Amino acid sequence: MDPRDFNVSRFLLTHGAYDWTEIEWLSRILGSSSRIVFVGAHIGAWLVPMTLRSGSRDVVAFEPSPRNHRLLNLNLALNGIQGISVHRLAAGDAEEIVRFTENRINSGNSRISASGEVEVPVSRLDAILADGPRIDLMVMDTEGFEVRALRGASATLAKTSYLYVEYAPEQLLEQGSTPGEFIDLAGERFSSMYLAGGGRPVQFFSSRAYIRYLRDLPRRRGLLLNLLLTNDSEARPELTLSWP
């Protein structure tokens, strides 16, 4: 890990894990035959434990930051995880090269930025994953670039059972998109949503009821939700009986 990073790295050093509650929760729907995709894999704080817990080796990771990409590969090696496909790419809706800033004190906040100090390649997820097998879980955290990533993943999302994605309106606006665009793209592909966290029981929204819920949320500074989008017609008991 990067010793200058006060966020994820500090949590790993002091607690041995980062977002462990979410990792345990998502692991309930995974097994050794699951296919998992991480878009914005960072240094592997989620990828490594979820891969080890599930036993799956059918895992694909995307991490555009050169520093984070190097640490991710080191963490895979240190944990004896082999056969993982790791791409040093950002996910978007066009094949291009963009500027990227590497946040040294909060490496998880590294992001595409016109003033970035490095260049990174961007590719559509469909260009890499569309011809592959069904995806059981995709975890996406692209620091506001989610709309562009979703636009470039139409065929991939059509065969994705669960998408765990960060919804942060301020970050979306910073990257030139809008919360409405995010909600529209999610609603095109997924009919249901699980909402967990904040010390509350898991909420399940069916029949696209989550669309109105997200649209009606008060626009408060710093709003950030992690959404588990799916096409489940009914809530899965293992995801709603209790929050770890």
Q: Facing residues of 111 across strands? A: 101
Q: 71 near 172, Cβ under 8 Å?
A: no
Whether 204 is in a domain gets the answer yes
Please check whether residue 183 lies inside any domain of the structure: yes
240, 194 Cβ separation under 8 angstroms: yes
Instruction: Give kind and range of the element (H or E) at residue 132.
Output: none
Residue 142: inside a domain, yes or no? yes
pLDDT value of residue 199: 77
Q: Does residue 3 lie within any of the structural domains?
A: no
Does the residue 2 lie in any domain? Answer: no
- Quickly count: other Cβ atoms within 10 Å of residue 101's Cβ: 17
**Confidence bin at 241 (pLDDT 50/70/90):** confident
Q: In this structure, what CATH number is given to the domain that contains residue 59? A: 3.40.50.150
- Amino acid at residue number 82: Q
Q: Rounded to an integer, what is the distance from CA 190 to the centroid of its chain?
A: 16
Cα–Cα nearest to 142, from 123, 117, 129, 127: 123
Q: What is the average pLDDT across 66-76? A: 97
Residue 132's identity, in one-letter code, is G
User: C-alpha 214: how far from its chain's center?
Assistant: 18
Mean pLDDT on 194-209? 91
Q: How much of the chain exceeds pLDDT 90, in percent? A: 91
Helix (H) or strand (E) holding 77, with range, is: helix 66-78
Task: Specify the number of domains making up the chain.
Answer: 1
- Tell me whether residue 224 is in a domain: yes
Res 223 pLDDT > 80:
yes
- Indicate if the pLDDT at residue 143 is higher than 80: yes
CB atoms within 10 A of CB 241: 11
Note whether residue 84 is domain-resident. Answer: yes
Q: Please give the residue range of the domain that contains residue 153.
A: 8-240
pTM score: 0.96
